[in-house]
Amino acid sequence: MEEFISLSVNLFTKFLSDSESIIKKNNTSSYLVSFALNYPASNLETKFDFLLKLHERSFYFEKPDENFIIFGMDETLNITENGEKRFSATDKKIKEWKEKFYSNWSQFAGIVFPLFLGSIKFAVEHADNDWSDFNDSTWFVPEVLLYKVKEQRFLLFNFIFSPEFSKGVIINKFRSKLEKLFNNNFQIKERPISKILQVLGSSPKDKKKWKNLVNDALDKISGKEIKKIVLSRRVELLLTDEPDFYTILRRLRQDYGDTYLFINHHGKSSFFGATPEKLAKMTDGRIEIDALAGSAPRGKNDSEDLEFENNLLSDKKNLNEHNFVIDHIRSSITNFTKDFTILPNSKIRKLANIQHLWTKISATLNPDSSMMLLLKELFPTPAVCGIPKDTALQLIKKLEGYKRGLYSGTVGWFNFNNEGEFVIGIRSALSLNNKLIAFAGCGIVENSDPELEYQETELKLKTILSLFNENQD
């Protein structure tokens, strides 16, 4: 890799000289600069668990069936907002930095580069001990971003150009980053699977309490206070050791390869999961959204699986729940888009342990659309909150009795070109050393059966709990 590093430093040095003369002409105090280059195939992916935990802040995002991976480490720029104005305040700062951005991205025709990585919590909240490492909304530009799309691999080095800017210092920093990534020959060994020592939240008493909450919600629905509410369960695990994310990613990739895999790490905490739900993907002036609501188990064989599928497609309760989501999406994006289209062949989404009613939606973005303000209208959807949204949100806070944090929040990436991809943080868990908190929820509507809803949460929890099953392989 010495030749690659030497060549890369020479390319970066030339880019730095070119960018310095251009930026200084604008007399701006600081500029966000991004340098992209191709890097060769390596064993970096085997080091991800080590690299994730080595840095104060890191972020991983993958779509296995699309051969798409983003991995960012450390932060060059951070936009963090708390409170009700988190979307609008973030939008304002994005626009400010957009005017102060310079890159060599134009050298790579047809490539959509990620820049900001991060997440937004389900609701505005004062962080408790579990979620103290995460704010209501945080989007950061990593110092180093590794990006794989199809068979192409890119490395982005991001930095702030300021009056104190020193070419020598930044060149040495760039070289050091490359050497640490590519010249370290340390061997990463897959650790033994962490075992579950204790489970809290799944006792008969816990089950009875949760079903009582469902009945309380059904009373609100029958009283016309609310049409739908999504209630979640929180299960706490004590493990023999902290999770090995190399092993976790391999297992999730194996069983949930058509979902989005993510790990959002900050401080001592890691929020991770395998979500099937795309909140929004924006590219080429279009937005794509998944409506995913209404669930059934997978069958033990093809015949039983088809029976479950047909029952789901004709079940009034699940169809109503699903249509709530479609209607919400349509009304939320109407001021930002045109040509609202429901795409064909999107009736059922089958995952390893569950199947969902699924509708793929597409629309054309208005040229002046704000990505953050659009997300504000769209999120949280009825698939994770309820209808009416504000009423459901307040009722969730009252009934659940704990803070969801990033569970059912938004995780994703974007750049300054109104391009990005955002998913809903479900089928997920929070890792704090050897403590793991897993979450699962389900939509409560008229005629919901508390026992069946509990069984649905059990199915969804398996996405995380099965990772610690020694017999899985």
* 7-36: pLDDT as tens digits: 999 999 999 988 877 776 766 678 899 999
Catalytic-labelled residue, pool 242, 277, 419, 453: 277
Question: Which ranges of 290-347 does DSSP label H, i.e. alpha helix?
Answer: 302-314, 316-333
User: Is a pLDDT exceeding 80 seen at residue 438?
Assistant: yes
The answer to whether 75 is a known catalytic residue is no
Distance, in Å, from the CA atom of 432 to the CA atom of 455, rounded to the nearest integer, reads 27
Tell me, what's the pLDDT at 473?
45
Report the share of the chain in percent with pLDDT over 70: 96
User: Is a pLDDT exceeding 80 seen at residue 339?
Assistant: yes
Secondary structure of residue 196 in the 3-state scheme: strand
- The single-letter code of the amino acid at 459 is L
In angstroms, the Cα distances linking 64 to 256, 261, 340, 345 are: 8, 8, 28, 21
Average pLDDT over every residue of 181-200: 76
What residues contact 449, with CB distance under 8 A and at least 6 apart? none
**317 falls in which pLDDT band (50, 70, 90)?**
confident
Average pLDDT, the chain: 90
Length of the chain: 473
Distance, in Å, from the CA atom of 328 to the CA atom of 323, rounded to the nearest integer, reads 8
**239 falls in which pLDDT band (50, 70, 90)?**
very high
Average pLDDT over every residue of 64-69: 92
Residue among 108, 62, 98 at smallest CA distance from 77? 98
pTM of the model: 0.93
Average pLDDT over every residue of 177-205: 81
Domains of the chain, by residue range, sit at: 2-182, 196-268+275-468
User: Is a pLDDT exceeding 50 seen at residue 270?
Assistant: yes
Which helix or strand (DSSP H or E) is residue 13 part of? helix 2-24
Catalytic-labelled residue, pool 47, 228, 278, 460: 228
Average pLDDT over every residue of 403-411: 96
Distance, in Å, from the CA atom of 147 to the CA atom of 323, rounded to the nearest integer, reads 36
Average pLDDT over every residue of 182-198: 73
The answer to whether 225 is a known catalytic residue is no
Residue with tokens 């970096």: 44
Residue among 322, 264, 221, 317 at smallest CA distance from 71? 264
User: Is a pLDDT exceeding 60 seen at residue 164?
Assistant: yes
Q: What are phi and psi of 420, to 5 degrees?
A: 180, 175
Average pLDDT over every residue of 281-306: 91
In angstroms, the Cα distances linking 208 to 215, 236, 266, 442, 461 are: 11, 17, 35, 16, 18
Average pLDDT over every residue of 203-230: 94
Distance, in Å, from the CA atom of 171 to the CA atom of 141, rounded to the nearest integer, reads 19
Q: Which fold has domain 196-268+275-468?
A: Anthranilate synthase (3.60.120)
Distance spanning both ends of the chain, measured CA to CA:
34
User: Is a pLDDT exceeding 60 seen at residue 471?
Assistant: no
